[in-house]
Amino acid sequence: MSTNKTSKSSGAGRTRNYATVVYPESAPDNWKDLLTEFFIPAFISPLHDRDINPGGEPKKRHYHVIIMFDSVKTVDQAKAVFEKIGGVGCEVIASIRGYARYLCHLDNPEKAQYDPEQVSCLCGSDYPGTCSLVTDKYKVIEEMIDWCCENNCYSYVALMLYSKSERRDWFRSLCDNSTIVMKEFLKSLKWDIQQQERKQAYEESLKALDERRQACEKIGG
């Protein structure tokens, strides 16, 4: 997805969401601060430093930037913002969710993947809320289930504390809509583990009794 596009008529058309590309080598050192001073909700992608051109050569390092006005603006008004921060190009965004997800290549597994937690959210913008899909919720639940099984964790408290410090996407999911599912899973997981432990203890007890019996038979024989 290129952000080097501009409207054929710089004053034609009005919308709310626009995007540009910022190359750190040619932008002002304080370009992020300058963008914040406009008080426009915005997203700044992680630094794209692993992108590859179709020919196989590395792309120049860059950031993708989205600005989201509260009301419709012209391309010229968006350009005025991007020029201050050294943005290259001004692209009208047709789908804010689709473009927001592109900041980390979430729907492009063939491209370098970037951490959504590293997206900068300016002036009240909400990246997780903007780009989240229903399928993302299921993926997060799958990841939490796998982690609990791999780490023998059946404590909701332990899961919450781990998520709070290590996986903010899990934490948000637990706070929003996945708590009931995970609590039921952990309760069942704990029961299964306890049953396995009881079965193992019972089998070990039978084995010990059988060994004693055999020892007594040898002595008696």
Per the prediction, the chain carries an average pLDDT of: 89
Encode pLDDT of 36-59 as tens digits: 999 999 999 999 999 999 999 999
Residue 16's closest CA among 79, 92, 82, 89?
A: 92
Token couple for 19: 């995007």
C-alpha distances in angstroms, 133 versus 98, 106, 123, 139?
10, 11, 23, 10
pLDDT 10s digits, 83-124: 999 999 999 999 999 999 999 999 999 999 999 999 999 999
Closest CA to 176 of 121, 147, 137: 137
- Of the candidates 124, 128, 134, the one whose C-alpha atom is nearest the C-alpha of residue 104 is 128
pLDDT 10s digits, 186-221: 999 888 888 888 888 777 777 777 777 777 777 765
Distance CA 152, CA 214 (A): 37
Residue 66, strand partner residues: 19, 43
d(C-alpha 104, C-alpha 204), whole Å: 52
pLDDT in the model for residue 6 = 44
Kindly list the distances between the CA atom of residue 64 and the CA atoms of 17, 27, 99, 206, in Å, as whole numbers in the listed order.
Answer: 13, 13, 10, 66
pTM beyond 0.75: the answer is no
Distances (CA, A) of 32 to 25, 105, 114, 131, 205: 14, 22, 19, 22, 67
For residues 186 and 95, what is the distance between their CA atoms, to the nearest angstrom? Answer: 38
| Delimiting residues of CATH 3.40.1310.30 domain(s) in the chain | 14-131
For residue 155, count other CB atoms closer than 10 A to its CB.
13
Q: Note the maximum CA span of the chain.
A: 106
CA 103, CA 43: separation in Å to the nearest integer? 9
CATH T-level topology, domain 14-131: Replication Protein E1; Chain: A, (3.40.1310)
Alpha-carbon gap, residue 134 to 130, rounded angstroms: 12
DSSP state of 62: B
Which tokens hold the place of 145?
């289930």
Radius of gyration for the chain, computed over Cα atoms and rounded to the nearest angstrom: 27
